[in-house]
A = this chain, B = another copy of it.
Amino acid sequence: MVTKNQVKYIQSLSHKKQRDEDGVFIAEGPKIVRELMQLDQVKPREVYGTLDWWESQPTSWRQQPWAVEVNEEELQRLSFLTTPNQVVAIFNKPVIHPHPGGWQIMLDGIQDPGNLGTIIRIADWFGIQQVVCSPDSADAYNPKVVQSSMASIGRVEVDYTDLVQYVVDHAHRVFYAATLDGQPIKEVKASRPGVLVIGNESKGIRPELMQKLSHFITIPRQGEAESLNAAVATGIILSHLIT
């Protein structure tokens, strides 16, 4: 059974302000919820599942205070998806302790939630535990970002900070800026982990940040497309830098 207040509360979590105040995020669907439940880094706060879903989960889960059984109509009211899928869950934001000195991704104004989620998933694939974003980037705990991260949101730390200051404060690291006229990816040898800098989908890296950077890296173009999708570019460059 779901109360009006529970529905109202979940809806309020579409707003970043509410998510930040409560330190929570929402995930939906059996695959991603199941995977997040099994991580130490996140803890469930409320889990609304259909009878079907609960029956396929460990029985101990159903006795937890955060477990709620809902019918299809209730699930519909709780869900942010056009086609709700068995379960909607509220989790505490992950607590992650990245290895010091590992690779990082820096995002300057990534706007599209799908791109951000995909980049978090790419980070997780390559074993990168930290993504540093400019304050005007999409929020990592936006439900669309969470869904496209495919549970990687539970394993990657995403921070928001002034990027120019960050570069100044981490002058001992090598920052590789993805641009259209840098050194071809195949020629770049990263002898130790650095930071890959990816710019906004249409404007690229902003001039104030570019001024602080000195390593530029490019995916050579053989055809006509003006640019590559930001997440695709991130994946391609990392696959060459990280061996």
Residue of B nearest to A243 (CB): B186
What's the Cα separation between A128 and B155 when bound, in Å?
35
- The interface size of chain A toward B, counting residues with CB under 8 Å, comes to 38
Q: Which of A83-124 contact B (CB under 8 A)?
A: 114, 118, 121-124
What's the Cα separation between A57 and B93 when bound, in Å?
49
> Which of A185, A227, A239 has the most chain B CB atoms closer than 10 A to its own CB?
A239
Evaluate contact between A232 and B122: CB separation under 8 angstroms: yes
Q: Per-residue CB proximity of A214-243 to B under 8 Å, as 1/0?
A: 000001011111111101111110011011
> Which of A121, A124, A224, A225 has the most chain B CB atoms closer than 10 A to its own CB?
A225
Q: Distance (Å) between the CB of A206 and the closest chain B CB?
A: 20
Evaluate contact between A223 and B128: CB separation under 8 angstroms: yes
Which residues of chain B are within 8 angstroms of A242 by Cβ–Cβ distance?
A: 222
What's the Cα separation between A118 and B236 when bound, in Å?
14
Q: Is the C-beta of A209 less than 8 angstroms from some C-beta in chain B?
A: no
Q: Is the C-beta of A147 less than 8 angstroms from some C-beta in chain B?
A: no
Q: Is the C-beta of A126 less than 8 angstroms from some C-beta in chain B?
A: yes
Which residues of chain B are within 8 angstroms of A114 by Cβ–Cβ distance?
A: 114
Q: Is the C-beta of A150 less than 8 angstroms from some C-beta in chain B?
A: yes
Q: Is the C-beta of A182 less than 8 angstroms from some C-beta in chain B?
A: no
Q: Is the C-beta of A79 less than 8 angstroms from some C-beta in chain B?
A: no
Evaluate contact between B228 and A127: CB separation under 8 angstroms: no
Binding site for B on A (CB under 8 A): 35, 114, 118, 121-128, 148, 150-152, 155, 185-186, 219, 221-229, 231-236, 239-240, 242-243
Q: List 28 A-B contacts (CB under 8 A).
A: A35-B226, A118-B229, A121-B225, A122-B225, A122-B228, A122-B229, A124-B224, A125-B222, A125-B227, A126-B222, A126-B223, A127-B223, A128-B223, A148-B229, A150-B226, A150-B227, A152-B224, A152-B225, A155-B224, A155-B225, A185-B239, A219-B239, A231-B231, A232-B232, A232-B234, A235-B236, A236-B239, A239-B240
